[in-house]
A and B are shown apart, each in its own frame.
Chain A
Amino acid sequence: MNLFDEVWGMFMLRWFHVLAGVMWIGLLWYLNFVQIVSMPKIPDEQKPAISKVIAPRVLFWFRWAALATVITGVIVAGWHGYIGDAFALGITDGVAKHTAIGIGMYLGLIMAFNVWFIIWPNQKKALGIVEATPDQKKKSARIAMLTSRFNTMLSIPMLYAMVSAQNIY
């Protein structure tokens, strides 16, 4: 295999897609499985360590990993030539793999949209990165938490769709 041939390029791109996806979903699960459930148990005077130091860094890598996952995923699908059939959920060609990967792509896009346009703007208010009243902060924190939970819920079928498209269909 030549270092610069097409097969190698496709593999490398898919590898980057998986790396970015692992970082994104890993941090999403960290937020939901660890941080959110631990916050009520942390003494108030120690909470700024999470909200001022750890959470902003988590959210930085979280949202950029989400974007990188989407971009590399779209390029992988386009390069392999199934992006149109996947977006059509396999209806155009009747191939189960394209239905599965298409469902995964739509779920991933919904999740990435939530990260950039719901979770991040609300987290900026909740963490005090932008000005907000205490009421707004509380409301924003709840919206961000519920959207993050919604993404956690979607991540389960999304990962099934992605992995099954590669291995079952």
Chain B
Amino acid sequence: MKNPLESLHKTIGMGVVLTAIMVLIIAIFYWESGSVTPAAIEKSATDAADAAKDAGATATDAAAGAATDAAKDADGAAGDAAGAATGTDN
């Protein structure tokens, strides 16, 4: 029987079949546990980064709000003080 590797066409055909078998084996192994692929890990890392960014934005908003409130309070206190001073002058 002639060795199939003597034919270039059969060699390529066997290479393609081997590739298909390899792809199937990998697909079967990771069908259920696809969540552990680097792409999935990267996605979860991106999601976590987005969540952290959102949390950071919330914190920034809160800090900005508090600062505004404090500034308003300080402004009010300054006004009161100015008023008091004006009253004293009178």
Binds B, one of A43-51, A66-74, A94-102: A94-102
Secondary structure of the B contact surface, majority rule: helix
A160-B22, A161-B22, A169-B38 given as contacts; is B15 within 8 A of A155 (CB)? yes
Binds B, one of A17-25, A52-60, A146-154: A146-154
A121 at the interface (CB under 8 A from B): no
Which residues on the B side are within 8 Å of A149 (C-beta)?
5-6, 8, 11
Identify which of residues 119-166 in chain A touch chain B, using a CB-to-CB cut-off of 8 Å.
145-146, 149-150, 152-157, 160-161, 164
Chain A's interface size range is: 20 to 34
CA distance A157 to B22 in the complex (A): 7
Smallest distance from the beta carbon of A90 to chain B beta carbons, Å? 8
A42 at the interface (CB under 8 A from B): no
Secondary structure of the A contact surface, majority rule: helix
**What mask results when residues 74 to 85 of chain B are scored 1 for a CB within 8 Å of chain A, else 0?**
000000000000
Q: Which residue of B lies closest to A149 (CB)?
A: B5
Which residues on the B side are within 8 Å of A93 (C-beta)?
36
User: CB distance A96 to B30 under 8 Å?
Assistant: yes
Interchain residue pairs with CB less than 8 A apart (25): A94-B33, A95-B38, A96-B29, A97-B37, A99-B29, A103-B22, A103-B26, A145-B6, A146-B3, A149-B6, A149-B8, A149-B11, A152-B8, A152-B15, A153-B12, A153-B14, A154-B18, A155-B15, A156-B15, A156-B16, A156-B18, A156-B19, A157-B18, A161-B22, A169-B37
